[in-house]
C-alpha cells in the first residue's frame, strides 16, 4: 500500500508518497539526502543515522510511514556554521568520510543530552558507529572540542 505522508527534513516540509514497506533510508535518499547511507542494513554501523525529534535512529530499520510529521535532521541539512561540523573539520575527523555524517549526528544527540561528556561517555555514545578507517580518536576529540566551545560561549554570555 502507498500512503502520502508529510516528511519534515531539516525544517523543510514535503508531501511524499511512500509504500508501507519503504524504509526511511530509501525515502530520504530518493528525495536527495544522500548523506544518509547504507552500510550494513541491520542497524549495526550507523552510516544511515538520522535524528528524529533529536534522537538518533537507524534509518535502515525504520519504516518511513512511522515518521509522518516527525522533524528529521540529516547531516547535509545542518546549518552552514554548525559547530560540530566545524570541529570535525578542524580535528581532521574523517578519512574516507562515508560514516562521518552518522558520527556528526550522534555527536549532536550526545551534546544535547550531556553538554560536558567525558571521553568515556563520548565513546559509550558512539559504540554503535563503525569507522572502518579508524578515525575514532579524531572523532572523539572533535566532539570534545565542540563541548568546550559551547561551554566557552555559555561563559561569555553569562559574563
Q: Which of residues 139-158 bind another protein (CB under 8 A)?
A: 139-140
- The correct pick among 9, 16, 18, 88 for binding another protein (CB under 8 A) is 88
> Pick from 39, 8, 7, 44: which is nearest to 22 by CA?
7
3-state class (DSSP) for residue 58: strand
Please say whether the beta carbons of 93 and 135 come within 8 A. yes
Positive or negative, the CA dihedral 149, 150, 151, 157 is positive
Give the nearest distance from C-beta 133 to another protein in angstroms: 5
Name the grid cell of 40: 550494513
Residues 95-134 that bind another protein (CB under 8 A): 95-101, 104, 106, 109-110, 113-114, 116-118, 120-134
Task: Output 14 or 151, the one with its CB closest to another protein.
Answer: 151
Task: Output 81 or 157, the one with its CB closest to another protein.
Answer: 81
Give the nearest distance from C-beta 135 to another protein in angstroms: 7
Name the grid cell of 9: 527534513
Give the nearest distance from C-beta 21 to another protein in angstroms: 6
Amino acid at each position: 500500500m502507498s500512503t502520502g505522508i508529510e516528511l519534515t527534513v531539516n525544517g523543510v516540509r514535503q508531501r511524499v508518497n511512500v509504500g508501507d514497506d519503504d524504509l526511511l533510508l530509501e525515502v530520504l535518499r530518493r528525495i536527495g539526502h544522500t548523506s544518509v547511507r547504507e552500510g550494513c542494513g541491520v542497524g549495526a554501523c550507523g552510516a544511515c543515522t538520522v535524528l528524529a525529534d533529536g534522537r538518533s535512529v537507524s534509518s535502515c530499520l525504520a519504516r518511513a510511514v512511522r515518521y509522518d510529521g516527525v522533524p528529521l535532521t540529516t547531516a547535509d541539512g545542518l546549518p552552514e556554521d554548525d559547530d560540530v561540523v566545524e570541529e570535525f573539520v578542524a580535528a581532521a575527523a574523517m578519512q574516507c568520510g562515508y560514516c562521518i555524517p552518522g558520527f556528526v549526528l550522534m555527536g549532536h544527540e550526545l551534546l544535547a543530552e550531556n553538554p560536558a561528556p567525558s571521553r568515556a561517555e563520548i565513546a559509550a555514545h558512539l559504540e554503535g558507529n563503525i569507522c572502518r578507517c579508524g578515525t575514532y580518536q579524531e572523532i572523539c576529540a572533535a566532539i570534545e572540542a565542540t563541548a568546550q566551545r559551547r561551554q566557552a560561549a555559555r561563559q561569555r554570555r553569562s559574563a
